[in-house]
Amino acid sequence: MGFLTGKKIVVMGVANKRSIAWGCAQAITEQGGEVIYTYQNDRMKKSLEKMLNGDEFLVECDVADDDSIKNAFDQIKDYAGQINGVVHAVAFADKDDLQGNVSDISRKGYSLAQDISSYSLIAVTHYAKPLLAEGSGIVTLTYFGSQRAVPNYNMMGIAKASLEAAVRYLATEFAQDQVHVNAISAGAVKTLAVTGVKDYNKLIQLSQERTADEVSVTTNEIGNVCAFLVSPLASGVIGETIFVDKGVHLS
Ligand SMILES: NC(=O)c1ccc[n+]([C@@H]2O[C@H](COP(=O)([O-])OP(=O)(O)OC[C@H]3O[C@@H](n4cnc5c(N)ncnc54)[C@H](O)[C@@H]3O)[C@@H](O)[C@H]2O)c1
């Protein structure tokens, strides 16, 4: 028995075992929750299927496409009826916009990153809203580059600032239905997404050196906080961005 026993949580964004979403899914399962997985495309589906035991409910959800999001939550409704939480661990920006000058970012690159990395939370909450039981939690993933000018994080830093603002507004709206919305600002972890940032090894190394004990945060540690934040235990935490970075943001 854990604090998520009997709860059904949608986890979006597992690409492989290094994914932060996978750390979240593991922690939710450890607390007795059932994870409903969404995946971006067939390639991600294949990867996910290799990691699971075959009993889980999986559904395609490309957050760039409203019909795909609607269809995913329709299928989730048919399967589960109600859900108790959503973990949004999805982001994308063009490689060109994760290096060089911010003043060179194109309108197209800006829109793409904002669409997938920030607007998608709004679109997902729109379709998830009718399914969310009282006491549900929604969690998204952000990074310190929203507040500081981290070398090469560029476009994603701008998108994460927008995402964090969206969390505050959505949190105010959803709290009226007893649903809490929050963000985790995770420390740097070597995942597929991070490798898009130029010199990402430097970013990870710098982050590790700035932790309180020089040991980087793990996806397990991020997942544990996520499990708490989607649960009813976090009903008093509304619109927060909680650092899970082993203290990197302190220095
Ligand atoms: N890795 C880090 O250091 C770090 C730090 C802080 C925050 N984050 C954030 O954590 C979240 C998860 O990223 P990650 O680092 O685990 O990397 P990851 O590459 O494992 O996960 C990113 C996921 O986004 C999904 N995605 C991209 N475009 C999509 C689309 N159109 N539709 C549906 N899904 C789509 C990918 O399929 C993938 O599963 C992201 O929001 C990322 O910005 C990462």
With respect to residue 2, please indicate whether it lies within any of the assigned structural domains: no
User: Ligand 1 center to residue 76 CA distance, Å?
Assistant: 21
What CATH number should be reported for the domain holding residue 195?
3.40.50.720
Q: Quick check: 251 pLDDT over 90? A: no
Angstrom distances, CA of residue 48 to CA of 19, 37, 101, 190, 226: 11, 9, 36, 18, 20
User: Encoding tokens for residue 78?
Assistant: 């048919």
Q: How far does Cα 174 stand from its chain's mean position?
A: 18
180, 174 Cβ separation under 8 angstroms:
yes
With respect to residue 3, please indicate whether it lies within any of the assigned structural domains: no
Q: What percent of the chain has pLDDT above 90?
A: 98
**Residue closest by Cα to atom 17 of ligand 1:** 193
**CA nearest neighbour of 12 among 173, 111, 141:** 141
Nearest atom in ligand 1 to the alpha carbon of residue 65 is 31
User: Ligand 1 center to residue 192 CA distance, Å?
Assistant: 8
Using DSSP bridges, classify how beta strands 8-12 and 132-142 pair: parallel, antiparallel or unpaired: unpaired
Mean pLDDT score, 6-10: 98
Instruction: Write down the pLDDT at residue 132.
Output: 98
Instruction: Write down the pLDDT at residue 191.
Output: 96
What rounded mean pLDDT belongs to the chain? Answer: 97
Structural domain count, the chain: 1
242, 228 Cβ separation under 8 angstroms:
no
100, 125 Cβ separation under 8 angstroms:
no
Mean pLDDT score, 167-181: 98
Q: pLDDT tier at 29 (50, 70, 90 boundaries)?
A: very high
With respect to residue 122, please indicate whether it lies within any of the assigned structural domains: yes
Terminal CA-to-CA distance of the chain, rounded, Å? Answer: 38
Range of the domain at 165: 8-245
